[in-house]
Chain A
Amino acid sequence: MLQDWRPTCSLELMRLRAQMLADIRRFFAERAVLEVETPLLSHGIGTDPQLEFFTTDYCLSPTRQTLFLQTSPEFAMKRLLAAGSGSIYQIGKAFRNGESGRFHNPEFTLLEWYRVGFTLPQLMDEITELITGLFSGRSLQETQRVSYQQVFGSFTGLDPLVFSYRDYCTFARECQLSEAVAICGNDHALWLDFIFSHKVQPHLGDNALCMVYGYPACQSSLARINEHNALVTDRVELFINGIELGNGYDELVDAKQQSKRFDKELAIRQQQNSPVLVKDKRLISALESGLPECSGVAIGLDRLLMLLSGSASIDDVLSFPIRRA
């Protein structure tokens, strides 16, 4: 008899997941942050050139439309914020095509929340409270906060904000990573992804939450540029035991700038021969109508559960990972 009808996670893990979700909901209820739901199926999708999406056909005879499965609930939640929702959170599924591995499943669970009027440091305080609360009784060390430039420099001796092809190449060769030269070429952001994921990230958050802030401007995505230093962006990433847990921004509220960034991403997609997209006009309209100053963060709950349970693979915390789904 085939055994692959069985879940890959234990019953104990299913209970731990339920407990984690209950704890998270209580955390936000105590702070009067509103739980919301937004569609998984949508007409628009993020233009991030690094995210592949799923599409599906919506058939309402005689018409047929292409809809996207959301890579994150960000756009829809920002539309709620612009409509005056106040601080909100959501626990839901997100879909990213082609992502499968020890830490990836193409369908996964995200916790995303937005705090109206919060600066990024304030949001980082709240993230710390949530995470340390969930890990209570598990002796998590004190939370570390470090800037991207500082942490990158301390593990590599390189300046991530100023691209030096020669220094980056020399470093890669010294680390037996000479393939980086061919892969990254003159692409600063790609070099940072390569070096950070090989030489920096594995060391972050040794049994502690490590928050890295001040990402280089070339990796700004939907974060605003820092008002004091145009080389960095108000973006934070969370790590525990070298595992990337989440990503937060002081949100870009400027519709024109956002529209420009979309155009830039669309141009990159075109260069990569990625599927053609149009930018999400409803999000741009929402930003034009006015997104309140806010900070937001998304945390991968399956990975959080891996860390809470000491699991080695995401399959150990999912009932049915993609190969059994």
Chain B
Amino acid sequence: MAIYSTNEFKAGLKVMLDNDPCAIIENEFVKPGKGQAFNRVKIRNLKTGRVMERTFKSGESLEGADVVDVEMQYLYSDGQFRHFMVPDNFEQYQCDEKIVGDAGKWLKDQDSCTVTLWNDAPLAISPANFVELAIVETDPGVRGDTSGGGGKPAALETGAVVRVPLFVQQGEVIKVDTRTGEYVSRVKE
């Protein structure tokens, strides 16, 4: 893997730090006029998602991390692992629930999502920004209410629970923003 000097650190660069793959978020050059130059770097640990700050002496370097984002199709869960496939070459990856984490509640069979691979092993799963899912359970709505004020909880086919307007009914398909977990609209079949 390539070696990157502090001068090359920029947002998005993937590097190895403390044996974990990380992504640079921000890099600030700090230098007293008559003193040592430092780079104050904001960095995200891609395994834990934690953001931290770390200072380097300018000119220090880190090894690049072999991290790539790949569009994949979610296939199924066997109870222990989730399975994904690269549509282009049918290559399959399995990924345990710990890594899937919160993303799991948005994953529907056949939907596509982004799998982050580190040394060709899944590191993190990101669902599409918008997903369309059926409501499997929600209280009956009030007729004629179109305002949506307040709303009610609705359980979706993938296990997620989102707040929906009162007029939305069980069995309907809705569009949800997975970044906020918020209802966007009903989907006309």
A50-B145 Cα distance, complex, nearest whole Å = 70
User: Chain B: interface secondary structure?
Assistant: strand
Let me know if B47 is at the binding interface, CB within 8 A. no
Closest B residue by C-beta to A101: B29
* A197/B35 in contact, CB under 8 A: yes
A183-B56 Cα distance, complex, nearest whole Å = 8
Choose from A102, A177, A193 the contact partner of B36 (Cβ within 8 Å): A193
Bitwise, A192-222 to B at CB < 8 A (1) or not (0) is 1110111001000000000000000001010
How many residues of A are in contact with the other chain, CB < 8 A? 30
Let me know if B32 is at the binding interface, CB within 8 A. yes
How many residues of B are in contact with the other chain, CB < 8 A? 20
CB B174 to nearest CB in A, in angstroms, measures 41
Let me know if A20 is at the binding interface, CB within 8 A. no
Chain A hits for B33, CB < 8 A: 237, 244, 246-247, 300
* A101/B28 in contact, CB under 8 A: yes
Chain B hits for A183, CB < 8 A: 55-57
Choose from B29, B34, B40 the contact partner of A99 (Cβ within 8 Å): B29
A229-B98 Cα distance, complex, nearest whole Å = 61
Let me know if A48 is at the binding interface, CB within 8 A. yes
Choose from A104, A177, A237 the contact partner of B31 (Cβ within 8 Å): A104
Let me know if A180 is at the binding interface, CB within 8 A. yes
* B31/A189 in contact, CB under 8 A: no
Closest A residue by C-beta to B34: A221
Chain B hits for A246, CB < 8 A: 33
Let me know if A57 is at the binding interface, CB within 8 A. no
CB B29 to nearest CB in A, in angstroms, measures 3
Of residues 256 through 307 on chain A, the ones whose CB sits less than 8 Å from some CB of chain B are: 300
CB B45 to nearest CB in A, in angstroms, measures 14
Bitwise, B36-76 to A at CB < 8 A (1) or not (0) is 11101000000000001111111000000000000000000
Let me know if A186 is at the binding interface, CB within 8 A. no
Chain A hits for B56, CB < 8 A: 179, 183
* B37/A179 in contact, CB under 8 A: no
* B36/A180 in contact, CB under 8 A: no
Closest A residue by C-beta to B59: A98
Let me know if A190 is at the binding interface, CB within 8 A. yes
Let me know if B155 is at the binding interface, CB within 8 A. no
A183-B55 Cα distance, complex, nearest whole Å = 9
CB B77 to nearest CB in A, in angstroms, measures 38
Whether A189 contacts B35 in the complex (CB less than 8 A), given A100-B29, A104-B29, A183-B57, comes out as yes
A179-B38 Cα distance, complex, nearest whole Å = 12
The 7 closest A-B pairs by CB, nearest first: A101-B29, A193-B35, A193-B36, A247-B33, A197-B30, A221-B34, A183-B57
A-B contact pairs, 17 of them (CB 8 A): A50-B37, A98-B37, A99-B29, A99-B37, A100-B7, A104-B29, A104-B31, A176-B52, A177-B55, A180-B55, A192-B35, A193-B32, A196-B32, A198-B30, A201-B32, A246-B33, A247-B33
10 extra interface residue pairs, beta carbon distance < 8 Å, beyond A100-B29, A196-B35: A50-B35, A98-B7, A101-B30, A101-B31, A176-B53, A189-B35, A197-B35, A197-B38, A244-B32, A247-B33
